[in-house]
Structure 1
Amino acid sequence: MLEDDTNLKEVLTNETSEKEAKEKTPLNSTSPDFLNEIQRENAENAEEETLNKKREEVPMMDYEKMTLEALTKELKRLIEHEKITSIKSHIEAIKKAFDNKYSQEEDEKRELFLADEDNEEKDFYFSLPIRDEFYKAYNHYKQLKNQYQKQLEQELQTNLKRKQDIINEIKNLVSLGKDDIAWNTDTLFRKFQELKKQWYEIGAVPREYYDDIWNNFNHHTENFFDYLSLTRDFQKIDFKHNLEEKNKLIEKAEALLNEADPQKAFRELQLLHKVWKEETGPVEKEYREKLWEQFSSITKKIHDRRQAFLHQLEQIFIDNKHKKLGIISQIEEITSQERNSHSDYQKAIQQINELREEFKKIGRVPQEVSEEIWQRFVLAIRAFSKKKNLFYKENKKIHNENVSKRMELIAIAKANKDSSDWEVTTPLIQKIQEDWKKIGAIPRKLSNELWEDFRTACNHYFDRLHQERRKQNKDENSNINKKKELLDELKAFLLTGNREEDIKVLENFQEKWNHLGSLPEKLRVLETRFNKIMGVLYKKLNFDKKEIELIKYNSKLDRLPEGENALLREEIFVRKKIEDIKKNILQLENNLQFFTNIDEKHPLMREALKSIQEEKDNLVIWEEKLKELHIHESKE
């Protein structure tokens, strides 16, 4: 034994106790929070940091903004090129983004499907090949993860066994030094250093043995030093080496203060703390407190910067949460509004689609509300879709009724498009055109087709009508000139005195006049002149008023348009005229009762009796006209 063994033992014992007091404090609830946090995460990650399979930093992308194809491609890339231990959080974030995006696309397709009236009785089915491709890759990742976990468990158990063997070897060094002279101090120390090196090269052990195995190792290390009582030279060499290593760790920690990524700096700091605790030994007493305070001070700065970054990130997530909730509220507000037309719903659909795209562009929200917000968004979209689909479903019946109404009008237009009864058909076609405008909306795919059928039938009729009118106008202008010439001939005609011959001439004038057709309203004065001259001539031939009126009426009947409607309207007119005359006669006869104490010679009485007789004469004439009308109808 060397004479300074006792001092060395004291130094090593103090170093160990202080090291335990300060470097093991993360397991003590009374230590600073930033040290507790580092120690806890180191303990949790120890199982994955074995056999040089430590986690590597993999950048976290904004997966929520990626397409289904991009997410699948990134999933495959991570599985193929990155370590399984480094991509767990990435894989789960990708899966969540994929499921959300796929569900959203499925909802959109369902809306379009249900909006199509032809699909009401069909079952909705949606599937994209990209989903099978994605989950094939994801299941492959789970298989690899399970394989790695089994391998990791085996390796952790192997590491535990090897470390337990090393502890036993260190424990046996004391016995070797006592029983075998070949094991001198130098030999024992070199063997200890070799075992210590092997210890640190072995990876982690199962988490439940983490503290026990370290405490056991430290305990037998202290026992070895108690027995060994190293010389000052060995002690100084060991202290010097440990001082250099701790200063290097401090330098590395200081360099992390300049790292732009606070998250990366904190992860690197975790590794430095692990090395400080597990891979560096004690230093001389005068440096111990100073080095630890320096290392702790840097640790606090990096921890504080990370906390500030996380707080800032959390605030961004909170802002995103409020933005998304605002969009959801807008969707719910749009859904609550009442709409009664297709155009209103088209505007609302456009607004919903714009809000949906805006929602997609907003970044992440706090994890604890992420699923809740997504579900509320999905429910808001579905509520709008349900209300919209209900509107279109209820309107389908109205649309079908409108289609039937339009089909009826098309049938009327086609049935009358070749009619030549212009007076009856023209107002009919005009009426159904007005009715068409009053009919409500119909499905767009039928609207143009039905309108084209209706328009074609109506245009066909009016093209014929305009052609006929052009012809009539041409004939009418020619007939007007001929009627003027005929009127001049009539004016120049003189009765010969031969009554029968003169009547034949007048009848011939009347026949020619009738044959030339009707006159336009503005030239009806020619008709009046002709009839007046004819009346004068017939009167000269001793025709009475009734005979002259019947001649004129028969002339009118000859000029009526062909068809039952014209004769029917004329009969209605004549009968109404007869009824009106009878009413006038009755009224005049009732008025005679007011004439008291006067005889028939009184001027008023004479005037009243004259009016009654004139009305009776007119009644006879109109009754005769009705007879002539019946005769004319029988000829038809």
Structure 2
Amino acid sequence: MEMERDNREENVQEAGLAENLGNTLHSEIDLADHHDSTDEHLEEEHVDYSHFSKHELANVIKDLAKDDNFKRVDSILREVKPLYDDIREKEKAEALLKFIASGGIEEDFEYKGDESDVIFDANIKLIRDRKTSHIRQLEEKKNDNLRRKQELLEKIRVLADSQNSDAQFELFKELQKEWKSIGPVPGTQAKTLWANYHALVDRFYDNQSIYFELKELDRRRNLEAKIELCVRAEKLADVEIIKDAIRELNELHHEFKHIGPVPKDDKENVWQRFKAASDAIYAKRDQYLQKLQQELHGNLDLKAKLSDDVQEFATFNSDRIKEWNQKTKEILDVQKRWEIIGGLPRAKAKEVNKKFWGAFKTFFNNKNTFFKKLDEEREKNLQLKNELVEKAHLLKESNDWEKTSNELKVLQQKWKDIGPVPEKFREKVFKEFKDACDHFFEQRRTQHGKVENEQAENLKLKEDICTILESHAAAGTATAEVLKELQDKFNAIGFVPRKDINAIRNRYHEAVDKFVSHIEGFTENDKSKLLLENQLSDLKNDPMADRKIYQKEQAIRKKISKVENDISLWKNNLEFFSRSQNAESVRIEFNDKIKEATEHLKQLKDQLKLLKTI
């Protein structure tokens, strides 16, 4: 019976062996091949390149050009290249607009790019050349492996059909070792090659009847080796990092395939045990991936919400530094929340990342534009303040105390009106301006003793004039001519000590009021006009003359408006009261009010005309 089966196998073609090989053999090959892509699902954590700058993306490609893991290289390249191309196209479009704006013609435009473009393009070409070379070497190696394994099959076939001997069995074991050491072959040839190999191995063992005991011993050793692999596979269920467990399991599958046959009675059992241990790991892997997908979709909901929230920052605008800094703090808080959340489903990651980081970039571009404009304004302010410093230096040695003092005060006010300057120049330019001003005012203070004496004398002169005004009022000799003469003398006198300014001014006004009230032959209107002229004359010499005259004008206008409204109201009331029983008495009363108000209105308008003559 053994001889009949051997004869049948001799007549089977190699292609037939591949198709009719037992289910167990196919299970071993298919199970391992089916899970070879497991690592694709357990990739290292995905890096989000969507917010990388052009320079950073170029460096990523530069580092990638040194990587020999071309599967990883392709994955990253598929994501990075479109991002880089998009940035380059935008820069090219901006360069074209500038070229046209400067008078160029679009047909003459030539975009050369920058250093990052040179680095990027050179390394893209290097990656492609290395990958092409790598693929060519792999194919050559696989074809060479195929040739070597086909040669080994011929040798094994010869051994399988030869007479039994110790030398043949040892040679067969050497051929098995050599087979195991040879690397992968082209995928289209792999299953047929493995089927022929196992068929010839079985034929060899079946034909070596004289070494039956040796064969059984070897198969028991193979059984022990496969049982050990089963134990190792079963222990992988305790490995916490599923990626590590899958990687080691794939190595165990590789060893399991290359161990020779086991006793036929144990063949199915040992395979089922190994398969059960493998299935447990794959089930754990599937459970892990399912949980991972749930987490990724949960992350998607959270990041989608943050992507919506961050859109408001893209349209934010303000002219206040404080508000920009506050918004920056807020958006960075959102970024922290974003980064705490884990990865996303690959299908949705690009869309959500683009939406989030697009708004993020827009906000900071707008912020940079604002601060760039702010820096330009501060540079202009620095130039203006430097001009004030130069003017202050030209004035600091002046001896024209009053004029120069006023000019410096004007410069100081202009200094306050000018906005801030760049931080690094703030202290320096302020010190230069302050030193120049302080120098002048220190020089003026050295003259202060002399000025104090003059001001004390001026105070005595003004007090004397007040006394003369008061004596004229008491004696009944007050006239407009005397007032004009004393008024001119009073205004011609210089400054008095600061502490006495209000007191002498109040005494003078009270003396003038008393003086005017005692002028004989003057109506009240004449006296009011005379007092107003005196006040306006006084105002001309006041440092705050413009402001006080304006305030006086507004007060008069307000009174005029009120009197006009009163007159209009009383005239309307006359028509209403004309129908009442006491119409005549009411008319007389309101006519008196209107007459009096009209006279007052005339006085106010005269005052306003007089005020405008100043």
TM-score by length of 2: 0.55
2:244 maps to which residue? 264
1:154 lines up with 2:154 in the alignment: no
Match of residue 297, structure 1, among 276, 285, 299:
276
Q: Name the CA distance, whole Å, in 2 between partners of 1:558 and 1:60.
A: 92
User: Displacement of 1:257 after TM fit?
Assistant: 3.1
1:199 lines up with 2:185 in the alignment: no
Match of residue 24, structure 1, among 26, 42, 46:
26
Structure 1 residues 126 and 560, CA gap change in structure 2 (3 angstroms):
farther
Equivalent runs, 1:270-285 vs 2, <5 Å: 270-285=250-265
Structure 1 residues 234 and 376, CA gap change in structure 2 (3 angstroms):
same
Q: Name the CA distance, whole Å, in 2 between partners of 1:333 and 1:551.
A: 72
**Is the CA contact 2:28–2:257 (under 8 Å) kept in the aligned structure 1?**
no
**Is the CA contact 2:21–2:199 (under 8 Å) kept in the aligned structure 1?**
no
1:250 maps to which residue? 230
Secondary structure at the residue paired with 2:223?
Answer: helix
**Is the CA contact 1:9–1:226 (under 8 Å) kept in the aligned structure 2?**
no
User: Displacement of 1:201 after TM fit?
Assistant: 3.8
1:165 lines up with 2:151 in the alignment: yes
Match of residue 216, structure 2, among 232, 236, 239:
236
Structure 1 residues 124 and 472, CA gap change in structure 2 (3 angstroms):
farther
Structure 1 residues 92 and 64, CA gap change in structure 2 (3 angstroms):
farther
**Is the CA contact 1:75–1:94 (under 8 Å) kept in the aligned structure 2?**
no
Structure 1 residues 296 and 464, CA gap change in structure 2 (3 angstroms):
same
Bigger mean CA offset, 434-443 vs 405-414: 405-414
User: Displacement of 1:210 after TM fit?
Assistant: 0.5
**Is the CA contact 1:63–1:97 (under 8 Å) kept in the aligned structure 2?**
no
1:380 lines up with 2:313 in the alignment: no
Match of residue 556, structure 1, among 484, 489, 493:
489
For structure 2, the 5+ residue unaligned runs are 13-17, 92-101, 103-110, 496-511, 530-614
Report Cα offsets for 1:395-438 as digits up to 9, x if no partner: 6887788779878987987888747574x887776677556545
Q: Name the CA distance, whole Å, in 2 between partners of 1:404 and 1:75.
A: 47
**Is the CA contact 2:222–2:261 (under 8 Å) kept in the aligned structure 1?**
yes
1:341 lines up with 2:320 in the alignment: yes
**Is the CA contact 2:382–2:421 (under 8 Å) kept in the aligned structure 1?**
yes
User: Displacement of 1:466 after TM fit?
Assistant: 5.3
2:460 maps to which residue? 519
Bigger mean CA offset, 250-259 vs 354-363: 354-363
Q: Name the CA distance, whole Å, in 2 between partners of 1:556 and 1:231.
A: 148
Report Cα offsets for 1:323-362 as digits up to 9, x if no partner: 6656655543333333122332244345556666776677
Structure 1 residues 429 and 253, CA gap change in structure 2 (3 angstroms):
same
1:31 maps to which residue? none
Secondary structure at the residue paired with 1:205?
Answer: coil
**Is the CA contact 2:205–2:215 (under 8 Å) kept in the aligned structure 1?**
no
Letter in 1 for 2:489: K
User: Displacement of 1:156 after TM fit?
Assistant: 1.9
Structure 1 residues 445 and 354, CA gap change in structure 2 (3 angstroms):
farther
Structure 1 residues 338 and 419, CA gap change in structure 2 (3 angstroms):
farther
Equivalent runs, 1:155-554 vs 2, <5 Å: 155-172=141-158, 177=162, 183-184=163-164, 195-221=175-201, 233=213, 236-285=216-265, 287-314=266-293, 328-329=307-308, 331-349=310-328, 351-352=330-331, 364-392=343-371, 418=398, 420=400, 422=402, 437=416, 451=430, 455=434, 459=438, 463=442, 470-477=449-456, 479=457, 517-519=458-460, 524=463, 526-529=464-467, 549=482, 553=486
**Is the CA contact 1:26–1:40 (under 8 Å) kept in the aligned structure 2?**
no
User: Displacement of 1:453 after TM fit?
Assistant: 6.2
Letter in 2 for 1:385: F
Aligned residues, how many? Answer: 469
User: Displacement of 1:209 after TM fit?
Assistant: 0.7
Q: Name the CA distance, whole Å, in 1 between partners of 2:208 and 2:424.
A: 99
Report Cα offsets for 1:420-461 as digits up to 9, x if no partner: 574x88777667755654555565567666655665565566
Report Cα offsets for 1:130-157 as digits up to 9, x if no partner: x96x999998887776655444333322
TM-score by length of 1: 0.53
Q: Name the CA distance, whole Å, in 1 between partners of 2:113 and 2:442.
A: 52
Letter in 1 for 2:24: K
Structure 1 residues 322 and 453, CA gap change in structure 2 (3 angstroms):
farther
Report Cα offsets for 1:80-139 as digits up to 9, x if no partner: xxxx5xx45666789899999999xx99xx9xxxxxxxxxx9x9998699x96x999998
Q: Name the CA distance, whole Å, in 2 between partners of 1:127 and 1:360.
A: 31
Q: Name the CA distance, whole Å, in 1 between partners of 2:323 and 2:358.
A: 22
User: Displacement of 1:303 after TM fit?
Assistant: 1.8
Structure 1 residues 168 and 583, CA gap change in structure 2 (3 angstroms):
same
Structure 1 residues 437 and 124, CA gap change in structure 2 (3 angstroms):
farther
Report Cα offsets for 1:291-342 as digits up to 9, x if no partner: 2332222112222233344445555655666666566555433333331223
User: Displacement of 1:169 after TM fit?
Assistant: 3.7
Q: Name the CA distance, whole Å, in 1 between partners of 2:277 and 2:115.
A: 54
Q: Name the CA distance, whole Å, in 2 between partners of 1:235 and 1:24.
A: 23
Secondary structure at the residue paired with 1:274?
Answer: helix
Q: Name the CA distance, whole Å, in 2 between partners of 1:340 and 1:279.
A: 77
Letter in 1 for 2:151: D
Q: Name the CA distance, whole Å, in 2 between partners of 1:527 and 1:452.
A: 46
Alignment RMSD: 6.3
**Is the CA contact 2:461–2:493 (under 8 Å) kept in the aligned structure 1?**
no
Q: Name the CA distance, whole Å, in 2 between partners of 1:283 and 1:432.
A: 108
Secondary structure at the residue paired with 1:519?
Answer: helix
Q: Name the CA distance, whole Å, in 2 between partners of 1:161 and 1:400.
A: 77
For structure 1, the 5+ residue unaligned runs are 29-34, 46-54, 111-120, 178-182, 480-516, 563-572, 589-636
**Is the CA contact 2:381–2:421 (under 8 Å) kept in the aligned structure 1?**
yes
% same residue: 20
User: Displacement of 1:263 after TM fit?
Assistant: 1.7
**Is the CA contact 1:9–1:229 (under 8 Å) kept in the aligned structure 2?**
no
Letter in 1 for 2:460: L
User: Displacement of 1:583 after TM fit?
Assistant: 10
Q: Name the CA distance, whole Å, in 2 between partners of 1:316 and 1:530.
A: 100
**Is the CA contact 2:164–2:211 (under 8 Å) kept in the aligned structure 1?**
no
Structure 1 residues 427 and 584, CA gap change in structure 2 (3 angstroms):
farther
Q: Name the CA distance, whole Å, in 2 between partners of 1:167 and 1:345.
A: 76
Structure 1 residues 344 and 201, CA gap change in structure 2 (3 angstroms):
closer
Letter in 1 for 2:143: Q
Match of residue 39, structure 1, among 33, 38, 48:
33
Structure 1 residues 185 and 254, CA gap change in structure 2 (3 angstroms):
same
Secondary structure at the residue paired with 1:277?
Answer: helix
**Is the CA contact 2:142–2:183 (under 8 Å) kept in the aligned structure 1?**
yes
